[in-house]
Chains A and B, each alone.
Chain A
Amino acid sequence: MSETNKALRVQVLIIGSGAGGATTANVLADKGFEVVVLEEGERHGLSDYGQSPTTAMRKLYRNFGMTPVMGRIPIGYVEGRCLGGSTEINSGFWHRLPPEFLLRWKARFGLVDFSHELLEPHFEWAETALNVGERGPAGWPKSTQVLNRGIEAMDWSAQEVKRAASGCVNTNTCSTGCPKGAKQGMSVALIPRAEALGVRFLTGCKVKLLLKHGSRITGVLAEIKLEGGSSDLVRIDADFVFVCAGPTQTPTLLRRSGIKEHVGDSFQIHPMLKVTAHFDEIIDAHKSVMPLLQVKEFWPDISIGGSFFSVGHLALNLADNWHENQAEMKNYRNMASYYVAVRGTGGGTVRAKILGDGEPLLKYELSDVDVRHLSQGLARLSTMLLAAGAKEVYPCVFGLGKITSELEAVRWLDESLPRSSLSLTTVHAFSTCPMGERADRCAADSFGKVHGIQNLFVNDASMLPDSPGINPQGTIMALAHRNDQHFAEMHGH
Chain B
Amino acid sequence: MVKDDKPPEGRSPLASLVKSKGAVVACGFIISIFLLVMTARKIAWSEAADAFSHATWLPWLPLAVAVYLVGMLLRGLRLKQLVSMEAKITVLTASNIVCVGYATNNILPARLGEFARAGMLAERTGLPYALALTVTFLERLLDGLTILCIFVVASLIIPTQEWMHQAAELAGVIFAVAIAFILLLAFAPQHSLMLASQLSAPLGRKWHDRAIALITQVTRGLSCLHDANTTLAVLSTSFFVWVLEGLMYALVMPCFAIPFSPVKAQAVMALTNLGILVPSSPGYVGLYHFICAKALQAVTGQNGLPQFFAMGFLMPNMGFINQHFLQEASKVVSETTALSYAVAVHLVFYVTVTVWGVIAMARYGLELGTTAALAWQAKPMQPLPPESAAERLSVITSVAAVNGKGRQYIQPAPFWPALAEAILPASNLPLSAEESSRCLQFAADFICDELSHLPQNLKPLVKIGITGFRTVTALTCLAPFEKLSLAKRRGVVDAWSYGRISITRKFFKPIRSVALLAFYECPEVQAALDRLATPEAPAVVSEDQEKVGRVNE
Contact = CB atoms under 8 A, between A and B. Distances in A.
A3 B1 CA distance: 10
Contacts, number: 197
B197 A209 contact: yes
Interface residues of A, number: 74
Contact of A235 (B396, B458, B512): B396
B212 interface: yes
A6 B381 contact: no
Interface string B424-463: 0100100000000000000000100111011111100000
A209 B458 CA distance: 24
Interface string A323-356: 1001001111100000000000000000011111
Contacts of A310: 521
Interface residues of B, number: 70
B181 interface: no
A233 interface: yes
B396 A224 contact: no
B212 A233 contact: yes
B309 interface: no
Contacts of B191: 354-355, 358
A211 B204 CA distance: 12
A231 B398 contact: yes
B450 to A, nearest CB: 5
Interface in B350-404: 381-382, 384, 388-390, 392-402, 404
Nearest to A64: B453
A57 B209 CA distance: 36
B206 interface: yes
Contacts of B502: 420
A18 interface: no
Contact of A63 (B2, B382, B454): B454
B201 A258 contact: no
A46 interface: no
B382 A359 contact: no
Contacts of A356: 187-190, 456-457
B143 to A, nearest CB: 26
B176 interface: no
B395 A234 contact: yes
Interface string B318-344: 000000000000000000000000000
A15 interface: no
A214 B521 CA distance: 53
Contacts of B193: 208-209, 221
B277 interface: no
Contacts of B451: 66
B384 A232 contact: yes
B194 interface: yes
A209 B209 CA distance: 13
Contact of B521 (A3, A52, A231, A352): A52
Interface string A291-335: 000000000000000000011111110111011001001111100
B346 interface: no
B485 interface: no
Given A232-B393, A323-B498, A357-B456, A4 B449 contact: no
| Interface core residue of A6, A226, A231 (most chain B CB under 10 Å) | A226
Q: Binding site of A, secondary structure by majority: helix, strand, loop or mixed? A: mixed
A364 to B, nearest CB: 14
Contacts of A221: 193, 197, 212, 396
A361 interface: yes
Contacts of B381: 230, 232
B456 A353 contact: yes
B454 A354 contact: no
B453 A227 contact: no
B399 A66 contact: no
B513 A319 contact: yes
Given A211-B197, A312-B518, A354-B191, A233 B392 contact: no
Given A257-B194, A311-B520, A420-B502, A4 B396 contact: yes
- Chain B binding surface, main DSSP class: helix
A236 B209 CA distance: 12
A66 B453 contact: yes
A333 B453 contact: no
A179 interface: no
B209 A235 contact: yes
B1 A2 contact: yes
Contacts of A53: 517, 521
Contact of B517 (A54, A74, A352, A423): A54
Interface string B477-507: 0000000000000000010001000100110
Contacts of B449: 58, 64
A8 to B, nearest CB: 5
A3 B396 CA distance: 8
Contacts of A181: none
A8 B401 contact: no
Given A221-B212, A233-B213, A354 B521 contact: no
Given A232-B395, A311-B529, A4 B518 contact: no
B294 interface: no
B516 interface: yes
A235 B520 contact: no
A53 B517 CA distance: 9
Given A221-B396, A353-B456, A356-B457, A312 B517 contact: yes
B205 interface: yes
A227 B382 contact: yes
A233 B398 contact: yes
A194 to B, nearest CB: 14
Interface string B186-223: 01111101100110010001100110110010000000
B68 interface: no
Given A65-B450, A224-B393, A229 B517 contact: no
Nearest to A231: B399
Contacts of A314: 520
A398 to B, nearest CB: 7
B373 to A, nearest CB: 19
A34 B316 CA distance: 90
A8 B393 contact: yes
A315 B517 contact: yes
B190 A208 contact: yes
Contacts of B513: 316, 319
B288 interface: no
Contact of B394 (A2, A209, A333): A2
A256 B382 contact: no
Contacts of A354: 188, 191
A68 B458 contact: yes
B3 interface: yes
Interface string B158-196: 000000000000000000000000000001111101100
A47 interface: no
B548 interface: no
Nearest to A329: B529
A374 interface: no
A1 B211 CA distance: 11
Contacts of B249: none
A67 B455 contact: yes
A138 to B, nearest CB: 29
Given A6-B394, A258-B194, A229 B401 contact: yes
Nearest to B442: A54
A36 interface: yes
A225 B454 CA distance: 20
Contacts of A209: 193-194, 197
Given A65-B450, A66-B454, A359-B455, A256 B397 contact: no
12 contacts: A66-B453, A66-B454, A209-B197, A226-B384, A230-B400, A232-B395, A233-B216, A234-B390, A234-B393, A312-B520, A316-B517, A423-B509
By Cβ-Cβ distance, the 9 closest A-B pairs, closest first, are: A358-B190, A229-B401, A7-B394, A312-B521, A315-B516, A64-B453, A330-B532, A234-B393, A315-B520
Given A232-B393, A358-B191, 16 more contacts: A2-B1, A3-B394, A5-B394, A53-B521, A58-B449, A64-B449, A65-B450, A230-B401, A233-B212, A234-B394, A235-B209, A319-B513, A320-B509, A330-B529, A357-B456, A398-B505
